Amino acid sequence: MLVSASDSVAAALGGALDGLALRQRVAADNIANMDTPNFTAATVDFESSLRAALADGDVTGAELNPATALSAATPGVNGNNVDLATETMTATQSTFQYQLLTRAVGDRYSLITTAIGHM
Amino acid sequence: MGAFDMLGIAHSSLTTHQTWLDTLSHNIANASTARPTDQAAFQAQFVMAEAQDAGGVRVSGLALGDPEGRMVHQPDHPLADENGYVRMPDIDMGAQMSQLIMAQRGFQAQTSVIRNAQDVYSSALSIGRNA
């Protein structure tokens, strides 16, 4: 877990960062294999388990497992089903989401710094 | 999962696409390489790629084209046999050129992944910097 603070907001932020990092990695892998014959693209879903954990009120548990699934897109003639446009959009979108989250994490630390009175 | 996985994955694909580009250049450069008929023709090389379990891609081997080639009647060629034939490679220039474009575009796509990785990692490294 990225954020060591034990409250659920920090845990949710950390879980989302982990999920986005995995999604970025999987998108990079898909793009790396855009010309590999018989390669099947993968997708990542971390929102479902995160949403369920937030609904349960226990984000700190170990059930925050991002799920990786194989893409069901129709493969081309070489058996490869990577869609470069989709992967690029996924990568760009999760980059912005990641930057938003790191900003949120930084702001939480700013709150703590303010609370302890700028030592 | 490593700390900077995305860069390694993009690098593996850059290397693979570079090998593909090199191979295509080699084939195109030798498209007119004639051989005597008692020797094998120049064999075009084909890169075989496979996905790696740990992420990324690698060159799994090189396949070779047909050593038979094409028999071409060129009696004035210094390598021609007594019947006036030389052996030319059987290279499909259209296929080579279209693959050249695919390999080039594939290589370029990896650079966008690297830019993404730079944005994400520098963002992660800035956590707590202005707290």
Start-to-end CA distance of chain A, whole Å, equals 27
Taking Cα atoms as reference points, which of B92, B90, B94 lies closest to residue B68? B90
Determine the pLDDT at residue B8.
94
Residue A46 has φ and ψ, to the nearest 5°, of -110, -15
pLDDT digits (tens, 9 = 90+) for A5-18: 567 888 889 899 99
Determine the pLDDT at residue B12.
96
Q: Fill in the amino acid letter for A79.
A: G
Q: How far is B27 from chain A (nearest CA, A)?
A: 19
Q: Which of A15-19, A86-90, A111-115, B80-84 has the lowest mean pLDDT?
A: A111-115
Determine the pLDDT at residue A61.
63
Determine whether the interchain pair B110/A35 forms a contact, defined as Cβ–Cβ distance below 8 Å: no
**d(Cα A90, Cα A43) in Å, to the nearest integer?**
10
Secondary structure (3-state) at B1: coil
Q: Long-range contacts: B76-80, Cβ < 8 Å, 24+? A: B77/B34, B79/B34, B79/B35, B79/B36, B80/B36
Its pTM stands at 0.86
Domain assignments of chain B as residue spans, ordered by start: 2-123
pLDDT-flagged residues of chain B (< 50): none
Domain assignments of chain A as residue spans, ordered by start: 8-114
pLDDT digits (tens, 9 = 90+) for B73-89: 999 999 999 999 999 99
**B109: nearest CA partner in chain A:** A31
B57-64 and A67-70 as β-strands: parallel, antiparallel, unpaired?
unpaired
- Dihedral, CA of residue A67, residue A72, residue A78 and residue A82, to nearest 10: -60
Residue A113 touches partner B, C-beta closer than 8 Å: yes
pLDDT digits (tens, 9 = 90+) for A35-83: 999 999 999 999 998 998 888 877 776 567 888 999 999 999 999 999 9
